[in-house]
Chains A and B, each alone.
Chain A
Amino acid sequence: MNFTINVWRQSGPEAKGRIETYPVSGISDHMSFLEMIDVLNEQLINQDIEPVVFDHDCREGICGSCSMFINGEAHGPGRSITTCQLHMREFKDGETITIEPFRAKAFPIIKDLMVDRSSLDRIIQSGGFVSVNTAGKQPDANAIPIEKADADAAFDAATCIGCGACVATCKNASAMLFVGAKVSQFALLPQGKIEAEDRVLNMVNQMDLEGFGNCTNTGACEVECPKGISLETIARMNREFLSASLSSK
Chain B
Amino acid sequence: MLDSKIPKGALADKWTDYKSSVPLVSPANKRAIEIIVIGTGLAGSSAAASLAELGYKVKAFCFQDSPRRAHSIAAQGGINAAKNYQNDGDSVHRLFYDTIKGGDYRSREANVHRLAECSTDIIDQCVAQGVPFAREYGGLLDNRSFGGVQVSRTFYAKGQTGQQLLLGAYSALSRQVAKGNVTMHTRHEMVELVKVDGKARGIIARDLVSGELERHSGHAVLLCTGGYSNVFFLSTNAMMSNVTAAWKAHRKGAYMANPCFTQIHPTCIPVSGESQSKLTLMSESLRNDGRIWVPKHKKDAEAIRSGKLKATDLKEADRDYYLERRYPAFGNLVPRDVASRAAKERCDEGYGVNATGQAVYLDFAAAFMRYGQEEANVKGINNPSQDELRSMGEKVIENKYGNLFQMYEKITADNPYQTPMMIFPAVHYTMGGMWVDYDLMTTVPGLFALGEANFSDHGANRLGASALMQGLADGYFVIPYTIGNFLSQDIRTGAIATDSPEFVEAEQVARDRMEAFLNNKGTQSVDSFHKALGKIMWAKCGMARNAEDLKSAAAEIRELRDSFYKNVRVTGTMNSMNPELDKAGRVADFMELGELMCMDALAREESCGGHFRTEYQSEDGEALRQDDSMTFVSAWEFKGNDPGKATLHKEDLAFESVELKTRSYK
Which positions in A face B, CB cutoff 8 Å?
11-12, 28, 30-32, 34-35, 38-39, 42, 44-46, 48-51, 53, 55-65, 80-81, 85, 87, 89, 110-111, 114, 116-118, 120-121, 124-126, 128-136, 138-142, 144-148, 151-152, 154-155, 158-159, 161-162, 185-186, 189, 191-192
Q: Are B172 and A134 in contact (CB under 8 A)?
A: yes
| Sampled A-B contacts (15; CB under 8 Å) | A35-B276, A38-B275, A45-B571, A57-B240, A59-B277, A60-B74, A60-B407, A85-B410, A89-B413, A121-B67, A125-B175, A130-B128, A142-B83, A145-B139, A158-B164
CA distance A241 to B372 in the complex (A): 43
- Which has the most chain B C-beta neighbours within 10 Å: A48, A81, A131, A138? A138
Q: Are A132 and B121 in contact (CB under 8 A)?
A: no
Q: Are B273 and A28 in contact (CB under 8 A)?
A: yes
Q: Are B174 and A134 in contact (CB under 8 A)?
A: no
Q: Are B53 and A134 in contact (CB under 8 A)?
A: yes
Is B160 close to A, CB under 8 A?
Answer: yes
CA distance A53 to B582 in the complex (A): 12
Q: Are B135 and A128 in contact (CB under 8 A)?
A: no
Once A38-B275, A118-B66 are accepted as A-B contacts, the answer to whether A110 and B577 lie under 8 Å apart by CB is yes
Contacts of A31 in B (CB 8 A): 273, 275-276
- Which has the most chain B C-beta neighbours within 10 Å: A32, A53, A58? A58
Report how many residues on chain B are interfacial, defined by Cβ distance under 8 Å. Answer: 80
Is B82 close to A, CB under 8 A?
Answer: no
Q: Are A134 and B130 in contact (CB under 8 A)?
A: no
Q: Are B406 and A80 in contact (CB under 8 A)?
A: yes
Closest to B481 in A: A136
Q: Are A192 and B130 in contact (CB under 8 A)?
A: yes
Q: Which 4 A-B pairs have the closest CB atoms?
A: A145-B139, A129-B171, A155-B132, A138-B124
Q: Are B130 and A63 in contact (CB under 8 A)?
A: no
CA distance A48 to B134 in the complex (A): 51
Q: Are B277 and A140 in contact (CB under 8 A)?
A: no
Closest to A135 in B: B125
Q: Are A50 and B413 in contact (CB under 8 A)?
A: no
Q: Are A141 and B273 in contact (CB under 8 A)?
A: no
The B257-287 residues at the A interface (CB cut-off 8 A) are 272-273, 275-278, 280-281
CA distance A46 to B257 in the complex (A): 39
CA distance A142 to B428 in the complex (A): 32
Closest to B49 in A: A134
Q: Are A191 and B238 in contact (CB under 8 A)?
A: no
CA distance A219 to B171 in the complex (A): 27
Q: Are A129 and B136 in contact (CB under 8 A)?
A: no
Interchain CB contact (< 8 A) of A147 among B123, B139, B275: B139
Q: Are B164 and A142 in contact (CB under 8 A)?
A: no
Contacts of A126 in B (CB 8 A): 178
Q: Are B68 and A186 in contact (CB under 8 A)?
A: no
Contacts of B175 in A (CB 8 A): 125, 129, 131
Contacts of A57 in B (CB 8 A): 64, 69, 71, 238-240
Q: Are A85 and B275 in contact (CB under 8 A)?
A: no
Q: Are A141 and B83 in contact (CB under 8 A)?
A: yes
Once A58-B238, A59-B277 are accepted as A-B contacts, the answer to whether A138 and B125 lie under 8 Å apart by CB is yes
Contacts of B505 in A (CB 8 A): none
Q: Are B129 and A191 in contact (CB under 8 A)?
A: yes
Interchain CB contact (< 8 A) of A129 among B141, B157, B174: B174
- Known A-B contacts: A87-B413, A117-B65, A148-B136. Give 16 more (CB < 8 A): A30-B273, A45-B571, A55-B65, A58-B69, A59-B280, A60-B407, A63-B64, A63-B71, A63-B74, A64-B69, A80-B406, A132-B129, A138-B128, A142-B141, A146-B139, A151-B132
Contacts of A30 in B (CB 8 A): 272-273
Interchain CB contact (< 8 A) of B69 among A39, A63, A185: A63
Shortest CB distance A122–B (Å):
9
Contacts of A39 in B (CB 8 A): 275
Interchain CB contact (< 8 A) of A141 among B132, B141, B277, B579: B141
Is B170 close to A, CB under 8 A?
Answer: yes
Is B480 close to A, CB under 8 A?
Answer: yes
Is B342 close to A, CB under 8 A?
Answer: no
Closest to B121 in A: A136
Q: Are A63 and B476 in contact (CB under 8 A)?
A: no
Q: Are A51 and B125 in contact (CB under 8 A)?
A: no
Q: Are B132 and A185 in contact (CB under 8 A)?
A: yes
CA distance A139 to B523 in the complex (A): 61
- Which has the most chain B C-beta neighbours within 10 Å: A49, A63, A140, A185? A63
Contacts of B170 in A (CB 8 A): 124
Contacts of B132 in A (CB 8 A): 151-152, 154-155, 158, 185, 189
Q: Are A132 and B128 in contact (CB under 8 A)?
A: yes
Contacts of A131 in B (CB 8 A): 175
Q: Are A148 and B130 in contact (CB under 8 A)?
A: no
Closest to B68 in A: A162
Is B209 close to A, CB under 8 A?
Answer: yes
- Which has the most chain A C-beta neighbours within 10 Å: B50, B128, B132? B132
Contacts of B140 in A (CB 8 A): 142, 145
Once A130-B128, A133-B53 are accepted as A-B contacts, the answer to whether A45 and B525 lie under 8 Å apart by CB is yes
Closest to B157 in A: A155
Closest to B50 in A: A134
Once A145-B140, A151-B132 are accepted as A-B contacts, the answer to whether A63 and B238 lie under 8 Å apart by CB is yes
Contacts of B572 in A (CB 8 A): 50
Is B576 close to A, CB under 8 A?
Answer: yes
CA distance A36 to B390 in the complex (A): 38
Shortest CB distance B354–A (Å):
12
Q: Are A139 and B124 in contact (CB under 8 A)?
A: yes
The B341-358 residues at the A interface (CB cut-off 8 A) are none
Shortest CB distance B484–A (Å):
15
CA distance A34 to B238 in the complex (A): 13
Contacts of A51 in B (CB 8 A): 571, 579-580
Contacts of A114 in B (CB 8 A): 577
Contacts of A81 in B (CB 8 A): 410
The B61-81 residues at the A interface (CB cut-off 8 A) are 64-69, 71, 73-74
Contacts of A155 in B (CB 8 A): 132, 134, 157-158, 164
Is B378 close to A, CB under 8 A?
Answer: no
Contacts of B49 in A (CB 8 A): 134
Once A62-B74, A116-B65 are accepted as A-B contacts, the answer to whether A46 and B129 lie under 8 Å apart by CB is no
Closest to A192 in B: B130
Shortest CB distance B577–A (Å):
5
CA distance A63 to B127 in the complex (A): 22
Q: Are A129 and B239 in contact (CB under 8 A)?
A: no
Contacts of B275 in A (CB 8 A): 28, 31, 35, 38-39
Interchain CB contact (< 8 A) of B137 among A35, A132, A141, A148: A148
Q: Are A162 and B66 in contact (CB under 8 A)?
A: yes
CA distance A129 to B134 in the complex (A): 19
